[in-house]
Chains A and B, each alone.
Chain A
Amino acid sequence: KNQVEQSPQSLIILEGKNCTLQCNYTVSPFSNLRWYKQDTGRGPVSLTIMTFSENTKSNGRYTATLDADTKQSSLHITASQLSDSASYICVVSMKTGGGADGLTFGKGTHLIIQP
């Protein structure tokens, strides 16, 4: 069964500190992996997308890594800001003939940045 597991479930850090969120998946055959940020009560917003051949991608203070061999990804946030408080969702896409049923969503990591 295709699964995406995210850890930790929740995380509290002080403003200015760095943190790393984890995503492990069993989706096969793998197509790509996306990280989304979802503010409370809002829709998710795409941060990064990585394919099999990419092992790191940055978007400002967000850096995602991918190890397709171990089926693990991480999202590193540098110099956290209060506005980083949100849920971060890992989404893995499976190679299919097409259609949205090839996506598997993680449950997300709820990140709280304290001043």
Chain B
Amino acid sequence: DGGITQSPKYLFRKEGQNVTLSCEQNLNHDAMYWYRQDPGQGLRLIYYSQIVNDFQKGDIAEGYSVSREKKESFPLTVTSAQKNPTAFYLCASSITDRETQYFGPGTRLLVL
């Protein structure tokens, strides 16, 4: 069953805590992306990776970090430096960075 998965579906963060959102794909896609979606706003790019062991900052990278040690995996860490982390986080992948992106089901992050 091919696709892109994200976990958990809901995540709660305490003040000052780092949390990591998981994103896995078995589509053999080279490119992977993280977006943030806020109510009434368009998707905003946090980080993207065109190939293993390489990634670039998007428009709103401050307070976030990523790694791309494996082709299938692109985890996103929301650090304590991100002062307004409550949002819906979407991971996507594509064959290359010029092709249509396939999105995961999303993770909703809430701050306690």
Contacts and interface: CB of A to CB of B under 8 A. Distances in A.
Contacts, number: 56
Given A99-B97, A100-B48, A42 B43 contact: no
Interface in B42-95: 42-45, 48, 50, 56, 58-59, 88, 90, 92
A44 B45 contact: no
Interface string A74-115: 000000000000000100010000111101111110000000
Contacts of A13: none
A100 B41 contact: no
B35 to A, nearest CB: 8
A107 B40 CA distance: 6
B9 to A, nearest CB: 9
Given A41-B106, A44-B43, A105-B42, 12 more contacts: A43-B92, A44-B90, A44-B103, A46-B102, A89-B42, A98-B97, A98-B98, A99-B48, A99-B50, A101-B45, A101-B58, A107-B41
Interface of B: 4, 31, 33, 40-45, 48, 50, 56, 58-59, 88, 90, 92, 97-98, 100-106, 108
Interface of A: 4, 31, 34, 36, 41-46, 49, 89, 93, 98-101, 103-108
